[in-house]
Chains A and B, each alone.
Chain A
Amino acid sequence: MQGQDREQELVKIRAKLKELLVSNLNMEGVTPDQIKDDDALFGEGLGLDSLDAVEIVVILQRNFSVEVKDMEKGREIFRSINTLATYVYETQQAKK
């Protein structure tokens, strides 16, 4: 039951993240549904860069009240929509 809740919540977070990324990072010519959960966000993947990375920190903070203090650890968190969503979910759960 708990696993189902978790998965449902993650689905919602992923969808919201995709929308936020497309609009806040001015990802021209990309729609939220074109981003796959495991697509690499940076480099060869969706082509995001270091400035997008710090912008994502602000997106997480403003929309999910989740902080990323250490940008070095951020590298793994920011790999894909999946890793981002998991980080958001787990950080929110830990606060509860």
Chain B
Amino acid sequence: MNIAGMGVVFTRGRGAAALEQALEQGWVAPGTVAVPAGSAPAYVVAPETLADKTVLAKARRADRFTRMAVLAAADALQDSGLAGRLDTSRLGTIVATALGPHTTTFGFLDGILEFGDAGVSPTAFSHSVHNAAASYIAMTLDVRGPTLTVTHFHFAFHQALLLADAWLAEGRCDHVLVGTVDEVGAVMAYASGRLCRTPADGRIKPLAFATAPEAVPGEGSVFFLVSRGEGAGYGRVAGAQLTAVPEPAPEGAVHLLDADGLSHDESGYRAVAREGLPVASYAPLCGSLMTISAFHAAVAALMLRRGRRYAVPVPDGAGDLQVCHESGPAEIRHVFCTRLDCAGNRVTLHLAR
């Protein structure tokens, strides 16, 4: 399955160029989100990033969650160079999310509490369903193929990729827009602040492999335009569901670890890091995010396209591990991205040139 185009919306901006710039620049301190106790650090997407009246012309009612997804999906299609050339009745969309548009959901609950069961807003209700973003993507890009939204707290993106590949294999679609979206909202930021430790300096330390790691919520959307045919500008997805890196590991391989502090114990990643490949994690650039795997896949795709490695933004705790400390040209042929869930289940994604 080839990656023909990519769209990214995250705290540092929008588009593959913004991601590249963030990777070159390294870590910067997070912004904040309002919580009952005042404010908490969070890697939030700036309102300016979402101010695009052209792409969002049909999305006047859409919330931030949907806007992030529409922009990332539209950018992925644009980036592929296939916009206007592909058959939209054979274009599918798969949106993966962990938490859905929960800010709108809680806004709807506000309506019930303030105005009663019979006084709530139908606009809020219809935008609080998980598939609102997919609907706006379809309307904006005139996608007439199958449109699916799926949810899982750990492996939503991997499952979405697996399904995209299945749709292409069974001939249901010629192209699929597959991606993730999740947002930071006050309620979940509050919950995250209580369920996870928060670093005083706002730095997530993914290579510290802590038993009680620190998290800073992040948000964003990442989309890929994939197909079996033309366009592999960003390489290809060679495997979405591996349980380990193949032995012996192929030449020119890098291993990205999806550690971002949201798991109660990240010590399991240490064993993964000891498997011999150079390791990296870019969670400090996007924040702690249940769908971080898609963000790492975007970094991987960029590494393959540019033939570059990028310095890890927060190397704390890496010790004697083989970690990339400087950005520069590199012969990268394979990128493995590994995600562990709280129960120790492992899924490794494999992108190759």
Binding site for B on A (CB under 8 A): 25-29, 51-52, 54-55, 58, 61-62
Within the complex, which residue of B115, B119, B123 is in contact with A55, where a contact is CB–CB below 8 Å? Answer: B123
Q: How far is the CB of A42 from chain B (nearest CB, A)?
A: 15
Which of the residues B53, B121, B126 comes within 8 Å of A28, measured between beta carbons?
Answer: B53
For residue B115, which residue of chain A has the nearest CB?
A62
Known contacts A26-B61, A27-B60, A28-B53, A51 near B119 by CB under 8 Å: no
Chain B interfacial positions (CB closer than 8 Å to A): 53, 60-61, 115, 119-123, 126
State the total of A-B contacts with C-beta under 8 angstroms. 26
**Contacting residues, chain A, for B126 (C-beta < 8 A):** 51
Tell me how far the C-beta of B97 lies from the nearest C-beta in chain A, rounded to whole angstroms: 22
Chain B residues near A26 (CB, 8 Å)?
60-61
Q: A28-B53, A51-B126 are in contact. Are A58 and B61 (CB under 8 A)?
A: no
Q: Which residues of A contact B123 (CB under 8 A)?
A: 25, 51-52, 55
Give A51 to B136 CA distance when docked, in angstroms. 14
> Which residues of A lie under 8 Å from residue B61 when comparing CB positions?
25-26, 51
Contact B122 A58 (CB under 8 A): yes
The residue on A at minimum CB distance from B57 is A28
Q: With A28-B53, A51-B126 as given contacts, are A62 and B60 in contact (CB-CB < 8 Å)?
A: no
- Which residues of A have CB within 8 Å of B121? 55, 58
Cα distance, A27 to B119, chains bound together (Å): 21
B115: A residues at CB distance < 8 A: 58, 61-62
Can you name 18 A-B pairs with beta carbons within 8 Å?
Answer: A25-B61, A25-B123, A26-B60, A26-B61, A28-B60, A29-B53, A51-B61, A51-B123, A51-B126, A52-B123, A55-B121, A55-B122, A58-B115, A58-B119, A58-B122, A61-B115, A62-B115, A62-B119
Cβ-closest chain A residue relative to B127: A51
